[in-house]
Amino acid sequence: MAYVALYRKWRPGSFRDLVGQEHISHTLAHAIETGHVGHAYLFSGPRGTGKTSTAKILAKALNCEQGPTPAPCNVCESCRRVNDGTSMDVFEIDAASNRGIDEIRDLRETVKFAPAAGRWKVYIIDEVHMLTSEAFNALLKTLEEPPAQVVFILATTEVHKVPATIQSRCQRYDFKRITAADIEGRLQYVAGESGIQAEPDALALIAHQADGGMRDALSILDQCAALSDEIITAERVRDILGLVGRDWVVRLLRAIAAQDAAAVLTTIADLLQAGKDLRQLLGSLIRELRAVMVYQAAGPLSGVDSFESSQEFLEEMAGVFSPERFLPMIRCLHDALQELKWTSEPRITVETALLTLCRPEAAAAPLQPPAAAAADAARLTQLETRLAQVAAALAALPKTAPAAVPVSTARPVLRAAMSAEKPAEETLPVAVTEEGKQIWQKLLANLRAQPDKGPVYACISKGRFCGMNERQFLIEFSSRFLKLRTDRDDYRMILEGELMQISGQPLQLVCSLAASDEPPAPPRPPVKKTAKKSPAPQPIQVDMSQLPPQAQQNLEKAVSILDGDFITPPSDS
Ligand SMILES: [Zn+2]
């Protein structure tokens, strides 16, 4: 016998089996008992909450040979045919399919004929918000003059996309996300009936992960049963779903609560060592913090929908964190989660975020800077320190040594960039040519096709090609951050390599910032405040041979600190 997925096999057969939607099943059962069945229903709610199942139960209840009854027998021919999808009187239309419009047109023709075998004809239109406006109009005409003995059930996950004219002709029922406790109860029942052995913790974890949808919960149970040996353990579920274990979350939150930065960093290192996923980690931390926040606000009666949080731990954490800390903390983790989508250094992102949480004064700030901005600020501080170092090194030069010598010496001179920005590149005349546009498109396509270059693509694709010449390829950014990031050596190397491959010539990537992002006036790239005294990077000219050895060493050190270099001036004219 062919294998039947659990969620199909255990689809609720009657209103009694419908989990978590009692408000709906009671009303519908009452309508059937009293013979007050409407002509059109609109079932809205998240996926996997029982909309289609309820529609089918209603169809069976109306046509059951023992009915109409709120408890269809599920054994008579009418019930079986509805369950198999072969009933002549129950029509299931998937509005998301291409055939949706044709089916609605057919429906207008067939709807007037009397039911073939049962008492009622039932039309179930799934994902009704996907209908075209033409199809909606056809449907509306039918709903305006509903034939007797016909019931329409429209199901949707996005009720706001259903025209008001349609909504106003339907009785609307809103399906709720099913609570983890309800899902867990149903999983216990299904596992018991299906001979699946599972630890209670494992089922609770599945229920929690299903996020309000019964269908997802049963699918996960199916998957775990297939991949487990004898008994499904919580550990196995975590492995299969790639979840970060609860122990890690507890360990990290305790370290954060104790403001123990070293423990936080060690835990992250151990976690990576164990092959855990950082996105999952942040997600788990966010859920746990939310649970503590709710617990703190409403106490043990809050019914925190998180099995993972033991009462004791919630209480412990609620005693440590002050209420105003939660939102900034959760926001900080959210920002880091966003940044993980494109960063090439996920570990640094997570470390920065969690260390920020260790500092209550930072985490309590009303608006936490995104991790990216924090990283930028860190780089700035670093550069300021370096500048101070180089200034000290220059000050240490003996006064007797000439600070500058004529360019004509043709000896190496030092060029030091004096700001966080790269010196403005000399830009030759450029043109937006057809060839250039093609290279640009090819560059984007090539990067998109290489998953490991995803972060580079994410940055460069926000840029705009604005011209090239035989040596340079110009990209303009409207985001200062993206411009700086793309300009850094690691990305630049990848991009220039690609450009070389596509164009067959060495092209220098020149990144610029769109004017609109800058305050008016200065046409130059922005200069950081640390460079007040020298607004534009100027080469500093020093004749090395004139310096005492110690000063030469100092200079070389300064150059390496600053990522500067020596250039040889043009020879005498
Ligand atoms: Zn029946």
Model confidence pLDDT, tens digit, residues 15-33: 888 888 888 999 999 999 9
Average predicted confidence (pLDDT) for the chain: 79
Q: Report CA(82)–ligand 1 centroid distance (Å).
A: 9
| CATH 3.40.50.300 assigned to 6-174 | yes
* pLDDT of 419 higher than 50: no
Say what the pLDDT of residue 384 is: 60
CA of 13 to the centre of ligand 1 (A): 10
Tens-place pLDDT, residues 101-146: 778 888 888 888 888 887 899 999 999 998 888 888 888 988 988 8
- Report CA(10)–ligand 1 centroid distance (Å): 17
What is d(CA 137, CA 145) in angstroms, rounded to the nearest whole number? 13
Sorting pLDDT into bands at 50, 70 and 90, what band is 517?
very low
Q: Under CATH, what is the fold of the domain 246-368?
A: Zinc Finger, Delta Prime; domain 3 (1.20.272)
Q: What's the pLDDT at 535?
A: 47
Q: State mean pLDDT over 224-232.
A: 86
* 53 C-alpha to ligand 1 centroid (Å): 16
Query: Residue 468 has what DSSP assignment?
Result: E
72 Cα to the center of ligand 1, angstroms: 5
What is the Cα–Cα distance from 300 to 292, expressed in whole angstroms?
Answer: 11
User: Does the pLDDT at position 376 exceed 50?
Assistant: yes
Q: What is the DSSP string of 479-506?
A: -HHHHHHHHSHHHHHHHHHHHHHHHSS-
Q: How far is the CA of 78 from the centre of ligand 1 (A)?
A: 6
Q: Which of 171, 172, 169 is nearest to 143 (CA)?
A: 169
Residue 463, judged by CB atoms within 10 A of its CB (0-12, 13-18, 19+), counts as: buried
User: Around ion ligand 1, which residues have CB less than 5 A away?
Assistant: 64, 72-73, 76, 79
Domain boundaries, the chain: 6-174, 180-241, 246-368, 434-464+471-517
Domain 434-464+471-517: state its class: alpha beta
Span of 76-85, 164-173, 208-217 with lowest mean pLDDT: 208-217
Instruction: Quote the pLDDT of residue 229.
Output: 79
**Confidence tier at 387 by pLDDT (50, 70, 90):** low
The model's pLDDT over 336-356, given as tens digits with 9 standing for 90+, comes to 998 888 888 889 899 999 998
- Cα of 555 to ligand 1 centre, how many Å? 92
Least confident stretch, 317-321, 389-393, 463-467:
389-393
- Name the token pair of 130: 């996907």
Distance 3 CA to ligand 1 centre (A): 25
Give the burial class of 271: count Cβ atoms within 10 A of its Cβ; 0-12 exposed, 13-18 middle, 19 or more buried.
buried
What is the pTM assigned to this prediction? 0.52
Mean pLDDT, to the nearest integer, of 44-64?
Answer: 92
Q: CATH second-level architecture of 180-241?
A: Orthogonal Bundle (1.10)
- Average pLDDT of span 280-299: 86
Between the CA of 26 and the centroid of ligand 1 the distance, in Å, is 19
State how far the alpha carbon of 265 is from the alpha carbons of 96, 111, 252, 356, 426, in Å.
48, 67, 9, 12, 43
Span 505-510, mean pLDDT? 85
The larger pLDDT score, comparing residue 295 to residue 285, is at 285
CA 119 to centroid of ligand 1, rounded, Å:
12
Q: In angstroms, what is the span from residue 408 Cα to ligand 1's centroid? A: 103
pLDDT at 406 over 50: no
